[in-house]
Amino acid sequence: MMRQILSIVIILFPLSEIMLFVIKRSRGQQTRSEDRGSMTLLWLTILLGVTLAFFAVQVRPAQIPVTRPIINPIALVLMVGGLALRWIAILTLGRFFTVDVAIHSEHPVVESGLYHFMRHPSYTGLMIAFLGFGISFGNWLSIVAMLLPITFGVINRVATEEKALVASLGPAYSSYCERTKRFIPGIF
Q: Using CA atoms, how far apart are residues 96 and 79, in angstroms rounded to an integer?
A: 25
Residue 131 to residue 53: CA distance in whole angstroms: 11
pLDDT tens digits for 53-94? 999 999 999 999 999 999 999 999 999 999 999 999 999 999
| 106 within some domain | yes
Is 80 a domain residue?
yes
Query: Phi then psi for 119, rounded to 5 degrees?
Result: -80, -25
Distance of CA 60 to the CA centre of its chain: 29
31 and 103 Cβ atoms separated by less than 8 Å: yes
Report the pLDDT averaged over residues 89-116. Answer: 91
Residue 20 maps to a domain: no
The reported pLDDT for the residue numbered 6 is 92
- Residue 110 falls inside a structural domain: yes
Q: Could you report the per-residue pLDDT of 26-62, keeping only the tens digit for each? A: 766 567 778 889 999 999 999 999 999 999 999 999 9
- Does residue 187 lie in a domain region? no
What's the structural domain count of the chain?
1
Q: Please state the rounded mean pLDDT for residues 171-184.
A: 96
In a domain, residue 82? The reply is yes
Q: Could you tell me the CATH number of the domain that includes residue 69? A: 1.20.120.1630
One-letter amino acid at 162 equals E
Which helix (H) or strand (E) segment holds residue 64: the answer is none
Is residue 25 predicted with pLDDT exceeding 90? Answer: no
Print the domain residue range for 137: 34-179
Q: What is the tens place of the pLDDT at every residue in 117-148?
A: 999 999 999 999 999 999 999 999 999 999 99
Q: What is the DSSP string of 13-24?
A: HHHHHHHHHHHS
| Cβ atoms 75, 136 nearer than 8 A | yes
Residue 124: CB atoms within 10 Å: 24
118 in any annotated domain: yes
CA distance 44 to 22: 17
For residue 26, being part of any structural domain is answered with no
Q: Any bridge partners for residue 64, and if so which? A: none
